[in-house]
Structure 1
Amino acid sequence: MDLAIGLSAVAVVVSIGSALFAKRAADETKELRKIESERRHTERTPMFGTEIEEVSSGQWYRMWLTLEKEESIDSVEVEIIDGNDVYFGDGQTGVDPGVGRTKSARWGQMTIGTKEVAWRVVVGPDAATQMRLRVTSTIGDENWRVLLTVPLPSTYDVAQSVW
């Protein structure tokens, strides 16, 4: 009988040890999966290019946003986060109508390398030499935020400074 009790005790200890080992292995697997998922998310971060194009002899400007790397995205939102006297012009696709001096604009799908996303940008006389944009892009249920610095054209009027 003592042998049976001893074997039972050993069996209990072995099964507890096995359960603890299995839980630890499961936790490590879960952690590795999380790390791998975060790494993959970082690798898939979209890269964008911007270009400011003068239109109508500087009456207004067009800002092009180009997807340069990774994969096509489902949607994009652009926010001017600093840029005194710079805003998206009213009455265009992706800009809320009637708001005036809007600092954000949206667009649907973007494909890599195509010059298809553009907004009219108003650059006032008090604008700095650059603006920063926060670009939030989406693929499925994943989101990325990227900060871009965009050089702005000078709107300084030399003729006005002389008079």
Structure 2
Amino acid sequence: MGLATEYQETHKWIDLLDSVKDIARKAGEIILKIYGESDVGIRMKSDNTPVTRADLEANQVITEGLISLNLGYPVLAEESEHLPLEQRQLWTRHWLVDPLDGTNEFIHKNGQVTVNIGLIEQNYPLLRLVYVPVTDTCYYGGKTIGAFCQAGKEQSATMKARKINQDNIIVLGSRSYGNA
């Protein structure tokens, strides 16, 4: 790949991520609006996990937003109807969405919720985004562009990987799933 082509490819992904950030922020606005209400519309799904109005409304905004990008990629979202695995296995590239990760945390209003959107190709992430509505912080990146963090309207900061010290590994868990 020539330098000019690589530059164009990189900017294509950055432009796409800018659009996805806007979609995630719109979903975050809905989540925060409902977060402030006393009745968030809790019901139980068939797998006995909770879903709220915020999950469903954010799911709709994200799904419609991704489809409106006109890329032709199917959307696999947690709160949408899923096609059979046999059909999904034929997808070479698709969006993977959890519109409100941390529904239990949302219900308990502890602020530990995120919007997760990824563009997957052959089971590997090309682009990924995690948006924290409560702090208006967005973590995003892609295979060929690196990883970034953006707080509010500030300029994005580059995130760098570092080698893990095998003697000093930290493991995190969720308050809601302490037995996992």
Shorter-chain-normalised TM-score: which range? 0.3 to 0.5
Question: What TM-score do the two structures reach when normalised by structure 1?
Answer: 0.37
Question: What TM-score do the two structures reach when normalised by structure 2?
Answer: 0.34
